[in-house]
């Protein structure tokens, strides 16, 4: 039971570890003329990218092109989240290997840039304004710990949300073999509603990951 339940999160197969190639499936199934011939789909994609670019540019506060990096990050996570909703496709964003690979380099680059270029500002962030002098050492410790756990919080939040929805869908699907036809109809309706919810979670979690990364980068400028 447990091996079947968690088999969709197993990153290896019996022959070769090809499950991680699921991130490239979207490139395999997308028509090649999508990149060459303008269409309604490509125009919609460009409008979404432009809207996200403008929003991230406001949060960053500088028109230096770094908002394009966060737009690409959001779209990458969102595509991988959606691909994991299809049957028999490995969900790469449900593993800390994938999410930490995205979060840790971002946080590390922000810290290196901030401490080398805005040292005084980074030190000022460790003590919130209006803190009593007697509490300053404790606030420095608390702010340092909260800063260190940021990449882990980003990665675990995305991973946990992806795993929770998939496990719930799998658990409900495994109960369909031994119930009556009326309950099967209710189960199918519940699965459809959960699938719609998971589609919304796929978008929301990618947006949260990108927004929080943008806010972290704005603090070091």
Global pTM value: 0.82
Does the pLDDT of residue 1 top 70, yes or no?
no
In the chain, pLDDT over 70 holds for what percent of residues? Answer: 89
pLDDT score recorded for residue 209: 93
Does the pLDDT of residue 15 top 60, yes or no?
no
Of the given ranges (61-75, 90-104, 177-191), which has the lowest mean pLDDT? 61-75
pLDDT score recorded for residue 172: 82
Average pLDDT over residues 59-66: 70
Distance set, CA 30 to CA 24, 26, 27, 41 (Å): 10, 6, 5, 11
Domain of 36?
2-219
Of the given ranges (98-102, 125-129, 184-188), which has the lowest mean pLDDT? 125-129
Q: Which residues are CB-contacts of 107 (< 8 A; sequence separation ≥ 6)? A: 150, 151, 154, 216
Does the pLDDT of residue 16 top 60, yes or no?
no
Q: State how far the Cα of 188 lies from the Cα of 65, in Å rounded to an integer.
A: 46
Residue 132: how many CB atoms within 10 A of its CB? 7
Average pLDDT over residues 113-126: 82
Confidence of residue 205 (pLDDT cuts 50, 70, 90): very high
Does the pLDDT of residue 203 top 70, yes or no?
yes
Smallest CA-to-CA distance from 84 within 146, 8, 31 is with 8
pLDDT score recorded for residue 204: 92
- Please give the tally of structural domains in the chain: 1
Q: State how far the Cα of 69 lies from the Cα of 55, in Å rounded to an integer.
A: 13
Contact in structure between 201 and 157 (CB atoms under 8 Å): no
Q: State how far the Cα of 105 lies from the Cα of 216, in Å rounded to an integer.
A: 13
pLDDT score recorded for residue 208: 92
């Amino acid at each position: 039971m447990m091996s079947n339940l968690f088999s969709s999160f197993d990153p290896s197969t019996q022959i070769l570890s090809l499950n991680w190639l699921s991130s490239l499936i979207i490139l395999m199934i997308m028509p090649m003329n999508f990149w060459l011939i303008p269409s309604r789909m490509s125009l919609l994609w460009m409008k979404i990218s432009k809207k996200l670019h403008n929003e991230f540019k406001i949060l960053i506060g500088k028109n230096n092109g770094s908002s394009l990096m966060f737009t690409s990050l959001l779209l990458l996570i969102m595509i991988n989240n959606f691909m994991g909703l299809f049957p028999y496709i490995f969900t790469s964003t449900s593993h800390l290997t994938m999410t930490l690979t995205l979060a840790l380099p971002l946080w590390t680059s922000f810290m290196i840039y901030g401490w080398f270029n805005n040292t005084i500002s980074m030190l000022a962030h460790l003590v919130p304004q209006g803190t009593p002098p007697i509490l300053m050492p404790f606030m420095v410790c608390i702010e340092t710990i909260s800063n260190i756990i940021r990449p882990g919080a980003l990665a675990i939040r995305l991973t946990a949300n992806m795993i929770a929805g998939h496990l719930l869908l799998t658990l409900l699907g495994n109960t369909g073999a031994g119930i009556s036809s009326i309950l099967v109809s209710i189960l199918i309706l519940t699965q459809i509603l959960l699938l719609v919810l998971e589609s919304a979670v796929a978008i929301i979690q990618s947006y949260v990951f990108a927004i929080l990364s943008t806010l972290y980068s704005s603090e070091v400028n």
